[in-house]
Structure 1
Amino acid sequence: MRTARLVLLLLALTLGGARAEEAGALRSDPSLPLRGGAAAAGALVWIHPFTRDPQPPAAPGWSHRLTEAGWDLWRFDRVGGPDPLAAGAERLAAGTAALRARGYRRIVLLGESRGAFIALVALRYPGLADGVVLAAPAAHGRSVERRPQALADFAAALDAASPDAPARLALFLFADDPWDPDPARRAALFRAAAERLGRPALVVEHPPAPIGHGGVQDPEFDAIFGACLVAFLDLDRASPAACP
Structure 2
Amino acid sequence: MPDKHLSSQFDADLTLLSTRLLAMGGLVESQIALAMQALDTFELDFVDLVLEGERRLNTMEIELDEEICNVIARRQPAARDLRLLMAASKCVTNLERAGDEARKIAKRIRRIAPRVSAQDVNIAEIKVSGAMAADVLRRALDAFARMDTAAAEQIILDDEAIDNEFRAFVRKLVTSMTENPRTITTALDYLSIAKAIERIGDHATNIAESVVYVVRGTDIRHEHRKRQEPEAVRT
- Higher helix content, 1 or 2: 2
Whether the TM-score (by the shorter chain) exceeds 0.5 is: no
What TM-score does the superposition give when structure 1 sets the normalisation length? 0.29
